[in-house]
Structure 1
Amino acid sequence: MPEKTQKPIHIRASPDKISRNIIAVGDPWRVKLLSTLLKDPEIVNEHRGFLIVTGYYGDQKITLATHGVGMPSAAIVFEELIMLGAEKIVRLGTTGSLREDIDIGDVIVAEGAVYNMGGTIGMYLENYVAYSATNDLELTYLLYKELKRRINRVFRGLVFSSDAFYAEDPNFVKRWSERNILSVEMECAVLAVIGRLRDVKTSCVLVVSDNLIKGVSILSSTERLSERFLEVGRVIMDVLSST
């Protein structure tokens, strides 16, 4: 476990440049897109490719942070944001639906995440304990309620956080859909676990970019789904600003 006095290595920003409220995304293009919702956005980090922008949404400071792809990269960013004072972190990303009725453009709010034992999370836990990867109940409920009110096509439940993008076998979709998992992505589990270990509130909001049951996907998904990302981003900023 990092000491409370430990300083970040990869994020070269001072604590006053990082909000206590974070929206974390995998793709730096999404930081640029969401920064259009902020007043006076300022780039506070570009080191190691982790684009981080801080600005104001109304009178509330919001930080938009790139966490990269996969749990090892994301864990570094989440830990260092917490070192810099983050208290609430919401991941906004894309996901592949594992249900026929959850289509491209729909929104999933992850109550928690299932993950394979070992890997990044295993490094945090002794003897590979099955630690609950559940998000903060209050924050997650507020996000779900407001998203449902304003967007409608919103689902909630468990997602699967995969450690390897190209490792799925032919039975992957069938296996996880039969376990009532809504979708697959790559970072929610490690965010939830770190949030619990560090006593930081977390949540995960996902825009569906692929339906793995139907075999339908959108390439360059952020650009194609930009309006949906902005719509969801506004809701997240409203909730973070009011709590």
Structure 2
Amino acid sequence: MGPIHIKAKKGEVAERVIVAGDPARVEQVASILDNPVLVNRNRGLLVYTGNYKGIPISVAMHGVGHPSSMLVIEELIMLGAKAIIRFGTCGAMVKGLKIGDLIIPTGAAYHPGGAFYQYLRDNVCMACSPHYEILKALVEETEKAAVKYAIGPIVSSDAFYAEDPEFVKRWSSRGIIAVEMECAGLFMLGAMRGMKTGALLLVSDSLVEELGFATAEELKYYVDRASRIVLEALIKV
């Protein structure tokens, strides 16, 4: 079966892909590329392909949560993607992080069930971790850019509005440093499909300190800065 939702043709999606949930972030990253071309807008799933330092790169929107993001990732793989970095936002679950700081996940916990149960067909937990080459490249490029970051395990939640104080207490006690909604699925598919994956996350709010929730406009500067880190890391793998 070929892709049903992304209507791009084979060859229109690069082997190296950046994915994000926010269409505005996708367009901002795509604007950094040389000669970006919109190769899909079907279902609102924007996909741009261009070049960065002479290397083909695609930037795609995966929507919110695992059902949407895993669908997009599967179709990007069908179209030739071999390395995918999620460039997303997250809520900090450790103190000392500010809006615009970065999280580099070393693994992603998740709640069994839903999409994970359908893929695994058993009541087991997959080891969801990024590919070492991408993890290493992201750390190197973040340090080169001299941007503050934290590195460690995160949790991928399926219920944004269920992240109450008990959720924070429970996951923080397990060493989790941030929460978002898509990395576990990306890392799992990477392992299952033989694809390199990784993630760089911008802190947009905190569940343990009063930082407020940053708007897309407030994050624009930080997105531009971090976009270049992701691009530099992606062309190294």
Note whether the superposition's TM-score is higher than 0.5.
yes
Matched residues in 2 for 1:86 and 1:60: separation?
14
Post-superposition offset of 1:142: 1.2
Contact 1:45 1:53 in 2 (8 A): yes
Matched, 1:87 2:91: no
Partner of 1:232: 226
Structure 2 gaps of 5+ residues are none
Query: Residue 58 of structure 2 is aligned with which of 63, 67, 76?
Result: 63
Post-superposition offset of 1:112: 0.9
Residue 22 of structure 1 aligns with an amino acid whose one-letter code is V
Partner of 2:39: 44
Mean CA deviation greater in 170-179 or 79-88: 170-179
Partner of 1:166: 161
Superposed, 1:1-150 pairs within 5 Å as 6-150=1-145
Report the number of matched residues.
Answer: 237
Matched residues in 2 for 1:65 and 1:151: separation?
27
Matched residues in 2 for 1:36 and 1:47: separation?
20
Partner of 1:223: 217
Matched residues in 1 for 2:164 and 2:223: separation?
30
Mean CA deviation greater in 197-206 or 149-158: 149-158
Contact 1:42 1:53 in 2 (8 A): yes
Post-superposition offset of 1:154: 1.1
Partner of 2:236: 242
Residue 137 of structure 1 aligns with an amino acid whose one-letter code is Y
Residue 231 of structure 1 aligns with an amino acid whose one-letter code is R
Contact 1:52 1:66 in 2 (8 A): yes
Partner of 1:3: none
Post-superposition offset of 1:89: 0.3
Contact 2:141 2:232 in 1 (8 A): no
Contact 1:119 1:163 in 2 (8 A): no
TM-score, L = length of structure 2: 0.97
Residue 122 of structure 1 aligns with an amino acid whose one-letter code is Y
Q: What whole-Å deviation, never above 9, does each CA across 1:92-141 have from its counterpart, x for those lacking one?
A: 00000001112211100111100001111111002121110111012111
Mean CA deviation greater in 136-145 or 45-54: 136-145
Matched, 1:195 2:195: no
TM-score, L = length of structure 1: 0.94
Post-superposition offset of 1:239: 1.9
Matched residues in 2 for 1:160 and 1:168: separation?
11
Contact 1:54 1:64 in 2 (8 A): yes
Residue 153 of structure 2 aligns with an amino acid whose one-letter code is L
Q: What whole-Å deviation, never above 9, does each CA across 1:197-239 have from its counterpart, x for those lacking one?
A: 000000011000001101322242x321111111111111112
Mean CA deviation greater in 137-146 or 93-102: 137-146
